[in-house]
Amino acid sequence: MDIAIYGGSFNPPHLGHREAVITALETLSPDLFLIIPDREPPHKEMEEGSPSPEQRLELCRLTFGDLDRVEVSPMELERSGKSYTYDTVCDLEKLYPGAKLTLILGTDMLESFEEWYHFEYLLEHCRIAALARDPEDDAALRETAKRFREQYGAEIALLDHAPLPISSTDLREMLRRRLGAEEIHPDAYASIIQNRYYEAAPELSWLREQAYTMLDERRIAHVAGCEGEAIELARRWGEDPETAAEAGILHDITKRLSHEEQLKLCEKYGIMCDNAERHTPKLLHAKTGAAAARERFGIPDAVYEAIRWHTTGKPDMTLLEKIIYLADYIEPSRDFPGVEELRELAYEDLDRALLLGLRMTVEEVRSHSEEPYIDTLTACTWYEERISERRD
């Protein structure tokens, strides 16, 4: 039985790792290909804030799990202490007596191989299959392989591989800057964003693709307009435009659901509803949308609250909450009496614009012989007093 072994921290696993696995599968044709994330790498310190070993294991399953003959193994996670390949090989020799074991290595790993724990045992008991990390590594790789054959009698295969120019170190930094989605398997990227591993923030183009599938097609233009307006308001008033965009993109993701479906989400997320909310579907989507966005996209508290209050408003709103409330109200597709005045005011005096929007909502609800929602009324009173104090 031929078994290929590909270990590492996989922090995170990326498409460069996946391409290496595919190359090794096609070149070596092993009966079994084991991906083995380590618990504690012996050659480096894990970056603070990295996912746990169990979480990295799950990211590996999402990245490699669909490949034929590939198995993501937790065997190094089941041992305590540092993860030495020597221990893993010994365990595999017991599990698969007589199997031919092949270690898959990159150039940097091969060049430092003599520093590995019991490296001579590994060279005696395993074949080495080496992949170049970049084209410039080729000469050094061949020289090291030649020396290992001559000095240790090692069996070394050099795999013809055109690696993707990405490293996990670079990728972790990219994820913090809303980059890197194209370098990671889609399922693994979704998990990274959902859990906000590496302090990752979603690429906005990716977030739009995800959010738009949750919308009624007729609402996409509104959501796109709200995002654009939120960005402009954020630039005008000193909020982070990308955070505002994130809230704008996600603010209506449960809007299309029926009233019964909204109530089921309230039950799922433990959302308390008063009588007015239970009988007014429009009021519920802000609460359920914020909760759904937190569950699926791991949104921070500021974005959660901006989505939560974008329909009713509330007293003493944060800057981001004001921006999303008004962006939803004045985005370019909106057309109602007074909207142009509201648009102009939103870029002149945010609090006065907010008060005007709240009053418009109260008047519109009362025009249908209904009573405005209590949060909107209390917000009106709060901002009336605030603006009055500014004049005094």
Using a pLDDT cut of 90, give the percent of the chain over it. 78
Question: At 84, which helix (H) or strand (E)?
Answer: none
- The whole-number pLDDT of residue 290 equals 97
Coil, strand, or helix at residue 100? strand
CA distance 239 to 237: 6
Q: Does residue 180 carry a pLDDT above 80?
A: yes
- The whole-number pLDDT of residue 37 equals 95
From the CB of residue 124, how many other CB atoms can be counted at a distance below 10 Å? 12
CA distance 110 to 244: 46
- The string of DSSP letters for 111-158 reads HTGGGSTTHHHHHHHEEEEEE-SSGGGHHHHHHHHHHHHHHH---EEE
Q: What mean pLDDT value characterizes the chain?
A: 92
Tell me the two tokens of residue 75. 């065997």
- The whole-number pLDDT of residue 40 equals 85
Q: Give, in words, the CATH class of 2-166.
A: alpha beta
Contact between residue 189 and residue 212 where contact means Cβ atoms under 8 Å apart: no
Axis-axis angle for helices 350-367, 339-346 (nearest 10): 160
Exposure string (b/e) for 100-115, b if CB count within 10 Å is 16 or more? ebbbbbbbebbbebee
Single pTM value for the model = 0.93
Residue with token string 């307006």: 229
- The whole-number pLDDT of residue 372 equals 86
Burial class (CB in 10 A: 0-12, 13-18, 19+), 238: exposed
pLDDT greater at residue 391 or residue 15: 15
- The whole-number pLDDT of residue 205 equals 98
Look at residues 13, 15, 23, 14 and name the one whose alpha carbon lies nearest to residue 4.
23
- The whole-number pLDDT of residue 178 equals 97
- CATH code 3.40.50.620 region(s) in the chain: 2-166
Tell me the two tokens of residue 55. 């979480």
Architecture of domain 216-391: Orthogonal Bundle (1.10)
Range 307-330 average pLDDT: 97
Kindly list the strands in the beta sheet with 126-131, ordered across the sheet, starting from the edge strand earlier in the chain: 70-72, 32-37, 2-8, 100-106, 126-131, 156-159
Give the angle 93-99-101 at the CA atoms, nearest 5°: 80
Range 203-221 average pLDDT: 97
- The whole-number pLDDT of residue 392 equals 61
pLDDT digits (tens, 9 = 90+) for 125-170: 999 998 876 666 677 788 888 999 999 999 999 888 776 778 899 9
From the CB of residue 20, how many other CB atoms can be counted at a distance below 10 Å? 21
Range 219-238 average pLDDT: 98
- CATH code 1.10.3210.10 region(s) in the chain: 216-391
- The whole-number pLDDT of residue 161 equals 76
pLDDT digits (tens, 9 = 90+) for 10-65: 999 999 999 999 999 999 999 999 999 998 877 777 787 789 999 999 999 999 99
- The whole-number pLDDT of residue 116 equals 93
Q: Does residue 281 carry a pLDDT above 70?
A: no
- The whole-number pLDDT of residue 134 equals 61
- The whole-number pLDDT of residue 136 equals 64
pLDDT digits (tens, 9 = 90+) for 339-355: 999 999 999 999 999 99
Coil, strand, or helix at residue 5? strand
